[in-house]
Amino acid sequence: MRILGIDPGTSCGWAIWENGDVVHAGTWDLSTNRFEGAGMRFIAFERAFRSALRGANLVAFEAVSSHKGVAAAHIYGGIVSHLQRIAQETGIPYTGIPVATVKRTATGKGNAKKDAMVAAANARWGLALTEANGGGDEADARWIAVTAAQQYAARPAA
């Protein structure tokens, strides 16, 4: 089983879970410059996502129900819509996992702060992620992949 976990955003976290743990992870910088249209971030996402999607059996993304700003909500919605379209085209199932569920997997608390998520990732995988270097987005993606793997394992066989 190969699961691709995605934390949608301008700093888009991604992680690949395989053979019982996360084997690759990082962030994609989807920011645009003043000479590019806003749609360029989605082209960059599609390129990176299709590459990471190779061999995946499931895509899991963080299902965020509210955002602090309109721009963040639009970016999130655009990324998720592209994720869903590409997964549909390629026949790979996808699922959204609520934020509180991911936080509970990582820390035992559904309302954990970002620094606790990063600390939990650093402890589990022996990393040195920080919020300053985009590590929060990678940490979230890692925990999204782990949560999806746990949920998949808990499902009864069809």
30, 64 Cβ separation under 8 angstroms: no
Q: What is the pLDDT of residue 49?
A: 98
Residue 154: pLDDT band (50, 70, 90) is confident
At 6-35, the pLDDT tens digits run: 999 999 999 999 999 999 999 999 999 999
All structural domains of the chain = 2-154 (3.30.420.10)
Cα–Cα distance measured from residue 51 to residue 43, given in angstroms and rounded to the nearest whole number: 13
Give per-residue pLDDT as tens, 72-131: 999 999 999 999 999 999 999 999 999 999 999 999 999 999 999 999 999 999 999 998
